[in-house]
Amino acid sequence: MRVLKVWLAALALVILVVFALVTYLKVVKEPNIRDPEFVQGRAEEFLAVASGDLFPSDVYTLVELKGPAGSEKDWLLLTIARFNPNWTPGTGAGGLIAIGRLEKGGWRFLLPTNSEFDSWLEQLPATLLSDKLKRSFQTASSYPEELSSAMPLLASSPQFSNQEVELYLPYPEKRGYKITTLPGDGDHLEKWNAYYALDFDMPQGADIAASAGGEVIAIKDDSQKGGCSEAYKDDANYVVIKIAPNQTIRYMHIAYRSATSAGLKLHDKVEVGQIIGRADSSGWACGAHLHIVLEKLCGNRVCDSLPLDFVEFGQGDPRYGKEYVSQNKSPEKRLAEAEKRRKEQERAEIEQITDAVEKFHTIYSCYRVKDCDESSLIRSWITDGLFAEMFESFCLFCPSKADTATEISEELLPFTAPKTEQTTVRSKEVWELEIRGKKRTDYTVVAHFLVKGNGVWKVDGWEIECGYVIDEDGDIIHKEHLEGCLWQPPEESTSGSTQ
C-alpha cells in the first residue's frame, strides 16, 4: 500500500513537471502580442498588404506607431507617409492614419475608407488622438465665427454669378507639376469634404496663383508647424477664396506668412492668376505640396467638395504621372493682352468703316452720272434703305446728273472706333464732274452716316457739310458754310453764288 502511494505521488509530480514544461514552452513559443516589436511587425505586415490596394506604384512608410500601453493597451494609432520617385524632389503628399485594435487574441487594422472606421475613431483613447483632432477627421469644416455675419453679404455680392466659373491650374503660366493625390485617394475622403481635392507636387517656395477670381474669406498663415504626423492636422496654413455664391477654393499647406507677403488681407478682391502665397508643408504634410479643393457651401459651413475641372485638363484628366502645364496668366499679362485685343478690335472697326466709305464712293460715282447702270453695283455695300433712296425713289432736290463723275482725291478725317452701332465719319473730297459739256471741280467736306448690322458697317446716308465749287476757268461758282470749313478757296478766285 505504501509502495502504491509512493508511485502515485511520483506520477503526480511527473504530470506537474510536464504541465509546467508545456506551459513554459507555450509562453516561449507565443510572444506577448502587446510587445512593441511584435506590434510593429504586425502593423508593417498590414501596411504591406493594404498598400497594394491603394497605390501600387507608391511607397508607403510607417512613420509613427502609438500604443499599446497603459489605458490604450488594446489600441494602436498608425501614421503613414506616401511617396513616389516620380514626384518633384523635396515634395510629398498628405499623410494617412490607420487604427489598430486587439480582437480575439490578434491585431486588426482599419484605414479611414472602412465603414467601421468612424466607430473605432470614437472609441480610440484620447491619449492616442485628442478629441479635437478626432472631430477634424469626422466633421465638416466651417469658417471662423467672426466671418458668420459677413457670409450672407458675400453670397449676395454683385460680382458673383450663378454661371460656371472658369478654373485655371493653381500656379503661374508655363510652369508644370504632377498630381500626387487624386479624388478619393489618400486622405481625400468624401466624409471629410475633401473627396475631389487634388494634391500637386509643388516644391517649397513655389508660387501659388489663384485659379479663379473672388473674395478672400479666410486666411491662416501664422503656423510654422508641420510634419508627417496627424498631430499637425490643425496647423496647416491656408487661403480660402469665394469664387461663386456657394463655392470656395481652399489652398492648403502654404508657407508661413506667404499670403501676407503677397499682400493678401481678409475680404480682398483677388484676380485669377494673382499670386496668393507659396507652397510648403505646413500642417499634416509628408513633404511640400499644394492641396487644393473646390468646396460647396451650405450657409456658413462646407458641406461637400466639387470636381476641379481646370481649363488645362483634357479627356481622361486628372491622372497620375502627367505633368500639367499651366495657362494661368498673371493679372498684368491678362490686362496687357486685353488691351492688345481692344486695340486690334478698334483697328479692325476703323478698317471696316474706312472700307465701307470707299465702297460707298464707288456707288456714289455711279449715282452722280446720267447713264449709271445700278444693276452692276453691289447692293449690299450700303444699306437697303440708302440704295432705294439713291436709285429707286424720285428726288426733286437731288443734284444734277453729270455726264461723268470722277473722284480726284479723298482724305478720311481721323476718327476713333465707335462704342455704339452708329457713327459719323467725315472726309475731305475732290470731285471732277462734266455737266452738259462744262467741267467743274467740287471741294467738299462730307459727313457719312454709318450703321452696323450683323457685325458689318455700312453707309446709311451722307451730307455735304461745307465746301465750294469752281469752274474750268477757276472761278468760284458755288460755296457753302465756308466759315471754319477745312476747304478754303484761293484768294484770287472770283466769288460766285453762295448758299
pLDDT digits (tens, 9 = 90+) for 76-89: 998 888 888 888 88
Q: What was the pLDDT predicted at 113?
A: 76
| Whole-number pLDDT of residue 67 | 80
Q: Which residue's entry shows cell 475622403?
A: 189
Whole-structure pTM value: 0.69
Of 448, 445, 450, the residue nearest 349 (C-alpha): 450
Nearest residue to 408 via CA among 487, 491, 499, 485: 487
Q: What is the mean pLDDT of residues 200-226?
A: 96
Model pLDDT, residue 159: 38
Stated as kind and residue range, the H or E segment containing 12 is helix 2-29
Tens digits of residue pLDDT in 379-437: 999 999 999 999 887 766 666 789 999 999 999 999 999 999 999 999 999 999 999 88
Grid cell of 126 as nine digits: 484620447
Between 189 and 439, where is the model more confident?
A: 439
CA 410 to CA 359: how far, in whole Å? Answer: 13
Which one-letter amino acid corresponds to residue 260? T
Per DSSP bridges, beta strands 290-298 and 198-200 are: antiparallel
Confidence of residue 139 (pLDDT cuts 50, 70, 90): very low
Q: What is the pLDDT of residue 148?
A: 39
In the chain, the domains with their CATH numbers are 36-138 (no CATH), 145-332 (2.70.70.10), 335-498 (3.10.450)
Q: φ and ψ at 232, to 5 degrees?
A: -95, 10
Cβ atoms of 289 and 279 within 8 Å: the answer is yes
Chain-centroid distance, C-alpha 419: 30
**More confident site: 106 or 347:** 347
Q: Which residue carries 499644394 as its cell?
A: 290
Give the pLDDT score at 161. Answer: 36
pLDDT value at position 27? 46
| Residue 142 in grid coordinates | 466651417
The segment with the largest mean pLDDT, out of 69-73, 105-109, 308-312, 388-392, is 308-312
- The predicted pLDDT at position 189 comes to 62
pLDDT at 83: 82
Q: Measure the CA angle with vertex 169, ends 269 and 341; round to 5°.
A: 70
Judged against a pLDDT cut of 80, whether residue 322 lies above it is answered with: yes
> Quick check: bond before 318 cis, omega within 30?
yes
CB atoms within 10 A of CB 379: 13
pLDDT of residue 5: 62
Residue 258 has pLDDT above 60, yes or no: yes
* pLDDT of res. 121: 87
339 Cβ contact partners less than 8 Å away, ≥ 6 residues apart: none
φ, ψ for residue 461 (rounded to 5)?
170, 170
Residues present in the chain in total: 499
Q: CA nearest 75: which of 47, 108, 44, 52? A: 108
Letter for the amino acid at 188?
H
From CA 470, how far away is CA 441, in angstroms rounded? 5
pLDDT at 145: 47
Question: What is the rounded average pLDDT of the residues 438-463?
Answer: 96
Query: Does the pLDDT value for residue 10 go beyond 80?
Result: no
| Cα 363 to Cα 381: distance, rounded to the nearest angstrom | 8
Q: Count CB atoms within 10 A of the CB of residue 211.
A: 27
Reference 208, options 184, 182, 162, 239; nearest CA is: 239
Beta bridge partners of 382: 459
Q: Which backbone phi and psi does 209 adopt, to 5 degrees?
A: -110, 140
Q: What percent of the chain has pLDDT over 90?
A: 54
What's phi and psi for 102, nearest 5 deg?
-80, 120
Of 252, 97, 94, 239, residue with least CA distance to 180: 94
User: Which range among 4-13, 45-54, 85-94, 97-106 shows the weakest confidence by mean pLDDT?
Assistant: 4-13
188 has a pLDDT exceeding 70: no
How far is the C-alpha of 61 from the C-alpha of 305, rounded, in Å? 28
For residue 158, the model assigns a pLDDT of 34
C-alpha cell at 73: 493597451
Place of cell 493653381: 170
CA distance 177 to 324: 6
445 SS3 class: strand
pLDDT band at residue 156, thresholds of 50, 70 and 90?
very low
- pLDDT at residue 60, rounded to an integer: 84
Are residues 34 and 68 in contact, defined by beta-carbon separation less than 8 angstroms? yes
Given a contact cutoff of 8 angstroms between Cβ atoms, the answer to whether 188 and 194 are in contact is yes
Stronger pLDDT, 98 or 191, i.e. the higher one: 98
DSSP letter at 93 equals -
Counting Cα atoms < 13 Å in the Cβ hemisphere of 447 gives 8
User: Among 315, 282, 104, 84, which residue's Cα sits nearest to residue 181?
Assistant: 84
Q: What percent of the chain has pLDDT over 70?
A: 83
pLDDT tens digits for 353-379? Answer: 999 999 999 999 999 998 888 888 999
Mean confidence (pLDDT) of the chain? 85
Residue pLDDT, tens place only, 221-238: 999 999 988 889 889 999
In whole angstroms, what is the distance from residue 139 CA to residue 499 CA?
88
In the structure, what pLDDT confidence band is assigned to residue 498 with cuts at 50, 70 and 90? very low
Q: Identify the pLDDT of residue 146.
A: 43
Say what the pLDDT of residue 73 is: 79
pLDDT of residue 335: 94
What pLDDT does residue 32 have? Answer: 75
Q: Rounded to whole angstroms, how far apart are CA atoms 461 and 463?
A: 7
Residue 23 has pLDDT above 60, yes or no: no
